Amino acid sequence: METLLGKHWHAIDADDVVQYLESDLNTGLDRFVVRRRQSHFGPNLITASKKPSPLIVFFQQFNQALVYILIVAGMVTLFLQEYVEAAFIFGVVFINAIIGFMQESKAVAAIEALAQTMETMTTVIRSGRSARINASELVPGDVVTLQSGDKVPADLRLVDFHALRIDESALTGESEPVSKREDLLAQGLPLADRTNMAYASTLVTFGRATGLVVATGDKTEVGRISRLISMATEVQTPLTRKIAQFSRYLLVVILALAGLTLVVGLVRGEPLFDMFLAAVALAVGAIPEGMPAAITIMLAIGVSRMASRYAIIRKLPAVETLGGTTTICSDKTGTLTQNEMTVQALVTADAAFTLTGSGYTPKGDIRPGSGNEQETQSAALQACLACGVLCNDSHLSHQDGQWQIEGDPTEGALVVAAAKAGINVDELRKRHSREDEMPFDSASQFMATLNTAPEGERRLFIKGATEALLTRCRVALDNRGEEIAIDREAMQQVASELAARGLRVLTLAQSRPLSTGEGIELANRSEELVFLGFQAMMDPPRESSARAVEICRRAGIGVKMITGDHALTAEAIARQINMLDAGTERRDAPDVLTGADIADLNDEDFVQAAETATVFARVTPEQKLRLVEALQEGDHIVAMTGDGVNDAPALRQADIGVAMGRNGTEVAKEASDMVLLDDNFATIVAAVEEGRSVFDNLVKFIVWTLPTNLGEGLVILAAIFAGVTLPILPIQILWINMSTAVLLGLMLAFEPREADIMERPPRDPQRPMLTGEMVFRIFFVGFLMLLGGFGLFEVAELRGLEVERARTIAVNVFIFIEIFYLFNSRSLYHSIFRIGFFTNLWAFAGVAVMIVLQMLYTYLPLANRIFQSAPITLGDWAQILVVAVVVYLLVELEKGLRRWKRARTN
C-alpha cells in the first residue's frame, strides 16, 4: 500500500480511490486495520526537527577565527605565568561568548509549528460508527466527515460533498475560499486547482463533505513543505559573511606579524620569553577584542529601534541585512492586500456605482458614476444590496476594536457594502424572514434563499456566477423600481470588463412574487428572474502599499509579487500599487508570469525570468523557493515577505524572511528573521531605513576602532625592530581595546539617521564593507597613533622617566586620540559641525565616563598594581592633548580634501 501514497489522487475516480485504499465509505476501517496502519504509517504528525542544546549554542560562540587567536594568546600567556594578562584575555573571550549567547536568536522551530497545526479533533467513520478522535490517530483509508468551521486534518480525496468551500490561503495563497467539485481532474494541475481534494491545515468555510484520507503526517502537502523548510539553506547574512572574511584576512596578517616579531627578536638575540610576550602583545593589540561585543550590542540597539516601529527582529544580523536589501519578494494576500474582500463596484441595468472604503470596516460612500447623487436612491441599487444581505449567511461584528466577518469572506463583503449604504442588516433579515434555502453548489454555481416580507410577499433571492444567472433573467429592475427589458449582451460586456480589472463578479437576481404552492425548487428552473445588478469585489491593497513601493523604488530596491492567486487578480493589484506601470508592459520580457510559465524553464532562463518579471502568480511553494534562490544567484540580497504555510520555505531561504505578526501563521513566523506586528508592508520601509542607519553606524565604528588595533600592532613592531622596550603591555592593550569599544565606539550606535539615507541605492553585495577611502583613513590614523604613542614613549624614556610612567603616557595617547577621533568618525565625510555637534549626547556621556576611568587607571594605586601604570604630571597631559588635537585636525583636513575633490569631480 506504501506505493499508492504517491499517486495523483485528484486524477483518480472516487470509486477507484476507495478500492486502492481498501476502505468502505459506509463502514470505514475496522479497528484491526487501523491498528496495523498506525503501526505502518505512524501518527498523523509532522516529524519534529532536533534543535541544538543551549550548551552547544554557547560553545558555538567560540567558533570564530579571532577568538581562536585570543585563546591561543591566553594559553601562551598562562604558560609564561603572566596570570593577570591571561585572566584578562580569557575574560574577554568569555564575555564575548556570553553576549553572543544571550543575543542568539531562538532556534528555528518551523517544523514544530507545523506539527501544532495538525493537532485537532476530527470526525471519522470506523466500524460503521461515527466518532470524534484526535487527528493524530488518522491513517490512510480513514473516512472523514467535514462541516463548516472544521480544520482539514489530513490530505483527503473528496468523495461526497455539498456546497463545500475551503479557505486554502495559508497553503496556496489563494485569497478566496475554493469551491470544491466532483470532477475528475488532469494529473498536472497545480495544488490550488485540485478542486476534488482537501488538504491538511486548511479551513472549511461552508458546506459539508466526506473524504478519504490519502496522506498523513510527513506525506501530506503541508508535511512536504516542512521538508522544504528543513532542506532550505539558512544563508549567511552579508554582515556575517563580511565579518568572517575580514576575520580570515586579519588572522593571516596577525599570525604573520606575530611570527615575524618572534623571528626578528630571536635573530637580534632577544630572550625567548620576552619575544613570546612581544608576539602575544602584538596579537592582542591587532585583534579588535571589543568589536564582536560592540557589533552585537549595536545590532541589539537597532532591534530596539525597529521594535518601536512595529518590526520585531528574531535574528540579530537581520538588522544590517535589511539595510542592504536589493529585492523584496512579497506575498500578495494579507501582505500587500488587506486579506479582506471588499465590494468596489456595483452595476445595475441603468447605472454604475463605485464604493469607497476598504476591508470590513463599514465606512465609505456609494458614488454614482454619473455624478448624480440622486441615483444613490435607485430602487435597483437598494434591491441589489438587499439581495446581497438576504441571500447570505455571514455576519459582521465588532470585536476588540476591529470589524470581523463570521463566515465566508465573499459574503462578508456583500454585508459590508449594504452597511455602507445605511442598511440595517439585522433589521432587514428580521423583516424578511428566511423560509428555505439552497446552498451554493459548484454545479449550479449559485445560492438561493426564499424570504417572506412583512406584508406576506414571498420571493427568491439569488446570487452566483454571471454565466449561471444572466441568461435566466428576462427583465431587469431600473432605478425607479420598474421592470424593463434587459440587454444581456451589454451586461455580459460589463461583467467581462469588471473581471478584466481583477474583480470577482457576482450576479444578483430575484424572482417575481411566488404563489402559494411554489417553493425554493423554483430557483433551479425559473427562467423569469429579475436582474438586480452586479457586485464586483476584490481583496484590496493596503492604503500604505503604493507609498511603500514608491519609497522602495526611490531607494533602488526592487519589489516583486509572488503569490498563489490568479494572474489577473495579481496583476490588477500590482497596477493599483504601481508595481507595474498602468497599461504598459515591457516588450523584451513579460511583467507577469504564472507557475505554469516558469515550470519548464531551464536554470538559465529561470534566473533571467526571476530578474525581469515583476509578478509571479499561481506559483507552488517549490517555485517560491526556487525564485528566491534564482535572485540570490544573481547576487541580490533578498527579503521575502509572507504569512502562510506556503511561504515558510522561501522565508527560510531568503537573506531575510519577513513574516506577518497579526494574520501570519506560526509556521511563517518561526521560519522568519523579522515579524511585522502590524502586518503592514510599509513597516518594511521603516525597517530598511533603520537597517541602513545601523550599517552606517557599524562602518563608522569599524573605521573608528581599527586604527587603534593597527597603531598598537605597529608600536609593538617598531619596538621590536628598534630593539627597545615595549611601549605598551598586553594587559594595557586589553584595557584600551575593551574600555574604549564600550564607552566610546558604542556611542556611535546612537548617531541619528542621515537625511538622504532612503535616497541612496542599495549597497552592492560584492562591495567590501570598507571602501578604499576608509581603508586609507584607517592606515592614516593608525600611523598617526604610532607616531604619537611611540614618539611620546621614547621622549619619556629620554627624559629618564621610569618605564611605568612612560607606558602610562603611551596608553593615554591612544585613549585621547580615540576620544578626539570619535568626533571625526561621527560622520565619515562631513564636519561634525555640519551634522550637529550636540545631536548625539551619548557620545559626550561616553567620553566623560572614559576620562573618569582613565584618571582612575592613572592615579588609583590598585589600578597601578594591576595594569603596571603610574601617575603622570600636567606637562605629560599637555603633550598628550596636543598630539590628540593634531590628529583630529589632520583627519578633518583629509575629509575636507576629499569633499573638495568630490565637488570638483561633480
Catalytic residues: 331
C-alpha 765/C-alpha 636 separation (Å) is 7
Nearest C-alpha neighbor of 854 from the set 808, 792, 897: 808
Q: Are 181 and 163 in contact (CB under 8 A)?
A: no
638-642/656-660 β-pairing: parallel
C-alpha 528/C-alpha 625 separation (Å) is 52
Dig out the grid coordinates for 99 from the structure.
Answer: 553576549
The Cβ-side half-sphere exposure at 700, using a 13 Å CA radius, reads 28
Q: Is the dihedral of CA 494, 499, 502, 508 positive or negative?
A: positive
Nearest C-alpha neighbor of 586 from the set 615, 607, 563: 615
Nearest C-alpha neighbor of 110 from the set 232, 240, 217, 203: 232
Specify the residue for cell string 557620545.
Answer: 843
Where would I find the beta strands (DSSP E) of 555-711? 558-562, 592-594, 615-617, 638-642, 656-660, 674-676
DSSP collapsed to 3 states, 66-93: HHHHHHHHHHHHHHCCCHHHHHHHHHHH
Residue 433: CB atoms within 10 A of its CB come to 12
- Classify residue 826 by its DSSP letter: T
Q: Which amino acid is at 683?
A: T
C-alpha 784/C-alpha 309 separation (Å) is 42
C-alpha 506/C-alpha 392 separation (Å) is 13
Specify the residue for cell string 440622486.
Answer: 374
Dig out the grid coordinates for 545 from the structure.
Answer: 502599499
* Distances from the Cα of 804 to the Cα of 20, 711, 726, 861, 873, angstroms: 89, 20, 11, 13, 13
**With 0-12 CB in 10 A as exposed, 13-18 as middle and 19+ as buried, what is 188?**
exposed
Nearest C-alpha neighbor of 110 from the set 46, 18, 178, 179: 46
3-class SS of residue 484: strand
C-alpha 368/C-alpha 354 separation (Å) is 6
Residue 223: CB atoms within 10 A of its CB come to 25
**With 0-12 CB in 10 A as exposed, 13-18 as middle and 19+ as buried, what is 779?**
middle
C-alpha 87/C-alpha 281 separation (Å) is 14
What are the residues whose beta carbons fall under 8 Å from the beta carbon of 161, sequence distance 6 or more? Answer: 146, 180, 182, 207, 208, 209, 210, 211
> Which contiguous run of DSSP H or E holds residue 197?
strand 197-198
C-alpha 684/C-alpha 328 separation (Å) is 9
Residue 298: CB atoms within 10 A of its CB come to 24
- Classify residue 590 by its DSSP letter: -
C-alpha 404/C-alpha 362 separation (Å) is 10
